[in-house]
Structure 1
Amino acid sequence: MTSTPAIHKPKLGVSACLMGVEVRFNGGHKESHLCTRSLTEYFDFVPACPEVAIGMGIPREAIRLIGDPANPQAVGSVHSELNVTQALADYGTHMATEMDDICGYIFMQKSPSCGLERVKVYQDNGVPATDGGRGIYAQAFCARHPNLPVEEDGRLNDPVLRENFITRVFAYADWQALLRNGLTRRGLTEFHSRYKYQLMANHPAQYRVLGKMLGSMAKSDPNEVGPRYFSELMSALKKCATRGTHTNVLQHLNGYFKKTMSAGDSQEMQRLIAQYRRGVVPLVVPLTLLKHHLRQNPDPYVAQQIYLQPHPENLSLRNAI
């Protein structure tokens, strides 16, 4: 009897408090059920709490950001002489090296160490700056991994942002697998071919730009073109697809089956695509019928498209968009 091979799960960095670990300044946690229940079957989480890691106790004095929102200082909320800015930044740089095999990171929102955006940065008059800033640890970490998919836990409550983030995580993991096998011109071209319709959904213009980039690399070193391509890819995928762009992709994919569909099947497909466009049904409905026709009439080019299944089906991420 042969054993079932282990499924490789991408690693995700995560703020430890989101995993239910009691590391917050007040001795509590901020458990995210999305992380601890929904995603644990599909990802290996690597938790970190920078404030505890740099030697601050549990419980501890809360810290806050002050000064220039673009370059704030992290100081004690009671004792302003407590300044942990450099320690948090150094730990961020250190963990960016340690976590060199993660494919994404979920940060604690509004945290002066881990928040990604709109973190309160207090001014001399005691009032927060209008735009806010970024947590010290998160800033240092993300500076070392500019292409890494990152998101705050609160924003992941939005089904569109959640699906977008998970799509990017698996694209990042896919690219890492390509790198492990060694970059070749053929490998790059095939990778881009698989992401054609996913890119068309997220950023149609950038799909054409990236296609031209690879089309002109006949004599270029793929190890030079590859990093530029990947950076542009991750930037493009960060743009959320809309009902309009999804509809465009569905129509393109449907075109592959026009000759094999009956008139009734074609009408049904068009009806469901139109219903999706109007918000009557979620994306999974026309996609499911499209996959049915693909099984009935296999097409190797369509079958390889990441768009059809950019993340595990059981996550049901497209049931809510």
Structure 2
Amino acid sequence: MSKPKIYIDGKEGTTGLQIYERLGGREDLELLLIDDEKRKDLTERKKLLNAADLVFLCLPDAAAVEAVELIENPGTRVIDASTAHRTAPGWVYGLPELHGQREKIRDAVRVANPGCYATGFISLVRPLVEEGVLPPGYPLAAHALSGYTGAGKKAIAQYEDPGRERELDSPRHYAVGLRHKHLPEMTAVCGLSHEPIFSPIICDYPRGMVVVVPLRLSMLSGEQSIESLRDLYSTYYQGETLVTLRPGDAPKCGFIGANNLEGKDTLQIFVNGSGEQAVLTARLDNLGKGASGAAVQNMNLMLGLEETLGLVLE
């Protein structure tokens, strides 16, 4: 049997390069490569897009839309890492751990890879909405910390410049206009009636993030407690390899480090709190389960391969 042909359109970007490094040593795949001088040659890109069994789009939104329009081969399947198609009709959202989603991804022709912040938020909120615990109209707020690699090549260059500005030394709030690009998928995939208030912070370390959602238990449906929420997550993610619930006493030190999962493709959920207040935390690597790791996981499913092949679990 011939090896599946894989093409990464946008291999030079942060996510594309990470995917390429993960797949470069795989002997079960054939990587189609474009000559460096032809990276922006529309004819050459079109040829490779249509020659591939599966394509990763690691491009800006407009370029990703253009690339899809270039695909005429009905056998070419697509995983788009951009924001362009995450709520688009006909595209399957690529978060396999959501109930019923793994089967949809296996059969999909078009898969939208989730955003990094959205992966953390949805992993926390979707199970609560799905199980009828969190009303869709709940006034949700979330904040998050992320390493600078999630901001792309320009930000990486700024943070890694020895002569950089002093302001980069401290954590920095951004998207203060409350229009972050991940909000549409966070709202739609969780089935919320309005967007959450989302406040992200970029920090002076390369990789890793936490997404935090505070809740008032008295505003949830039914009699809820820290223990009942933990039970809900334990049941929802039972049997999952990449998404796990941390023990009830974690973290013993009282801190949840944002970069503890650097280099890994897993996601951890914490449920903490006191009295009628709870705080939910998802921890992941923004380039792992938040980007390239998730893309490879989705590729494995779409090609009928072992789901965690090529992923870093420990």
TM-score (norm 1): 0.24
Larger Rg belongs to: 1
Which structure is richer in relative contact order (CA contacts within 8 A, separation 6 or more)?
2
> Which one has the bigger strand percentage?
2
TM-score, normalized by length of structure 2? 0.25
